[in-house]
Amino acid sequence: MTTILITGTNRGIGLELAKQALAKGWTVYGSARSEVTDPDAHICEHPKFHDLVFDVTDYEAVRAAASSISEPIDILINNAGIIGPDRQSTLDMDFDGFAQTIAVNTLAPLAVSQAFLPHLRRSAAPRILTISSSMGSLSYAKSDRIAYRASKAAVNKVMQGLATDLEPIGIAVAMLHPGWVRTDMGGAEADIDAGTSANGILKIAEGLTLKRTGRFFNWDGSSAAW
């Protein structure tokens, strides 16, 4: 039976990932900055849902959460993320906001991956998936939301390195663009709903093996541009 840990399960794509993983009969560890209470889904009352409370940038809290779990984890999805500060152009940057964006979107996925590595090592088919964004692609010379773009470009590099380092011990790592998704972050005009995105992400998670490690995918399974 599959056990999955997803960060940021109180809303958006993370909540949908948790709901759909529970529907598959998986055991779900879902993290949020405060206790998860979703009145629609009742995931917090589901017997296979386990709440973990930590801010992904609080490494001590992340390590404490990891210490509180003894069972193996098969799939880790680094989902929690922020869009960054209001002022984030190269000509007018909120540098504290930029640093916070890097802390949440780039550093935290690595910190969470490191903290839960012992649990992943005990799985028969361990996988780490990090939700990145096509906005981090170096193939497009766009300059809006540069803090967010830089944080996602950087997390791709970090996760590519992690994939190389974990391949010898059998842990597969992939990066994902979830689509332009109707969430608080994506807005009401986005292309797809969170359920469609989560469905695609879980399919990729289920099919991820060492043969596909280190790759950057779109939510529909196609290759994303670096």
Q: Which residues bind ligand NDP (CB under 6 A)?
A: 8, 10-14, 32-33, 55-57, 79-82, 104, 131, 133, 177-178, 180-181, 183-186, 190
- Given 48, 140, 148, 157, the catalytic residue: 148
User: What is the H or E stretch that residue 199 is in?
Assistant: helix 194-207
**Rg of the chain (C-alpha set):** 16
Q: Output the smallest distance, CB 180 to ligand NDP, in A.
A: 4
Residue 29 is among the residues annotated as catalytic for this protein: no
**Of 2 and 106, CB closest to ligand NDP:** 106
**Of 45 and 184, CB closest to ligand NDP:** 184
Q: Output the smallest distance, CB 85 to ligand NDP, in A.
A: 13
How many Cα atoms are found within 13 Å in the side-chain-facing hemisphere of 150?
A: 19
Q: Output the smallest distance, CB 47 to ligand NDP, in A.
A: 22
**Of 93 and 190, CB closest to ligand NDP:** 190
Among left, alpha and beta (phi > 0; psi -120 to 50; other), residue 76 is beta
Return the closest-CA partner of residue 133 out of 66, 183, 195. 183
Return the closest-CA partner of residue 142 out of 94, 87, 106, 90. 90
Please identify every residue annotated as catalytic: 148, 152
